[in-house]
Amino acid sequence: MNIYTGLNKGGHSWTPQFVTELNQDDCLGCGRCFKACGFDVLSMVGVTEDGEIVDAFDDEAEKKVMHISNADNCIGCQACNKACPKNLYTHSAMEVTAV
């Protein structure tokens, strides 16, 4: 296995760190990460008293939290975690099979 790397504009190698987890228990629902991500990875959801994930505007929602809804769209820039006041995101490099 190799680690996937790309090139920046200057032709230098960099290793994308793709989003893998979000600690929803501590999420403030502030939306800063959503604004920082330009790749349609994140969406706001609601959480009921029982911990069930529902639509953000559902009457049963006790609070709103961010959700990783389209992880495959992630480019690994880590802007979401930089924008998050609580550093709730986990990222990791992607392993690829050598060809």
Positions that interact with ligand SF4 (CB under 6 A): 19, 22, 27-33, 36-37, 39, 41, 66, 74-80, 83-84, 86, 88
Report the nearest approach of ligand SF4 to the CB of residue 25 (Å).
10
In contact, 37 and 43? CB cutoff 8 Å:
no
25: exposed, middle or buried (C-beta count within 10 Å: 0-12, 13-18, 19+)?
A: exposed
Report the nearest approach of ligand SF4 to the CB of residue 6 (Å).
13
The encoded tokens of residue 26 equal 């501590």
Helix (H, G, I), strand (E, B) or coil at 25: helix
Element (H, E) at 42: strand 42-47
Nearer to ligand SF4, 25 or 99 (CB): 25
Nearer to ligand SF4, 58 or 79 (CB): 79
Nearer to ligand SF4, 2 or 20 (CB): 20
